[in-house]
Amino acid sequence: MTSHDAVSAARRWSGQATIGHTGTLDPGAAGVLVLAVGRATRLARYILEGTKAYRAEMTLGVKTATQDAAGEVTATADATPIGRELLEAAIRLRVGQGYQVPPMVSAIKRDGVPLYRLARRGEEVVRAPRPITFYRIDLLEFRPGRQAVAMLDVECSAGTYIRTLCADLGDDLGVGAHLSFLVRTASGPFRLEDACTLEELSEEGMSRWLLPPAAGVTGWPKVVLGDADARRMLHGRAVTVDGGPHGTVQVIDGDGRLLAMAEARSLGDGRRLWPRVVLGS
């Protein structure tokens, strides 16, 4: 099932037409897929920017065309010489900021066409490396052998491809590798243990699982406005406040309701809040 399939099912069961997802999951992957409903879809880009976490199984000694188990095997090697210490050393070198070349099976578009569609036609295009960050890569289990298997816990920035991490680690070790299993355990503040299955969504209804829009933007600082400034913000007008944070902020009214996401810029000793997404009261 694709992310689009999950959105279509949620629309069908809920009768709500305005639903979108906030970060594609590959058809062969499982785990957290955050759905935004109604006016909360306006916040999708902020949720997309959140940190992601994954549990991934990597098989060393086998390279595939798609960097995962669904692709055609393109090369094999004996991974027996790879021990746990050697793998951990390679992992340490990948932690932190770096660059990653997106796979051809990604949803990134070239001239309006997703790369995966080009890949299905047998086409390959040059992809520019993109900045990414691995905040944490933990080796949970390792089974050595000709086709060694490693289980990883990964925390990374948005837009990072775990299949490419596995392929890169395999190349670093000289034996090749591919992603053989993947589950997303967190997307921003949303975690797998708090998620529902599609079956539960169908049986219990969407209202059982809905969270307020503010739940998706907890990582940004808050600015509280009084009634007059709150009304200006709701009409898409900038307001001035005394001090406070710079950059992207949540704009909250006196009752704690999320009104908008705004950009806070310096203005003398104060800040000017420019609305970027207005939710309404």
Residue type, 69: A
Q: Are 162 and 56 in contact (CB under 8 A)?
A: yes
Task: Specify whether 242 is catalytic.
Answer: no
Residue matched to tokens 């099976």? 105
Give the Cα separation of 216 and 38 in Å (integer). Answer: 14
For residue 129 the two structure tokens come to: 């490396």
Give the Cα separation of 93 and 38 in Å (integer). Answer: 43
**Active-site residue among 26, 168, 229, 253?**
26
Give the Cα separation of 58 and 163 in Å (integer). Answer: 9
Catalytic amino acids? 26
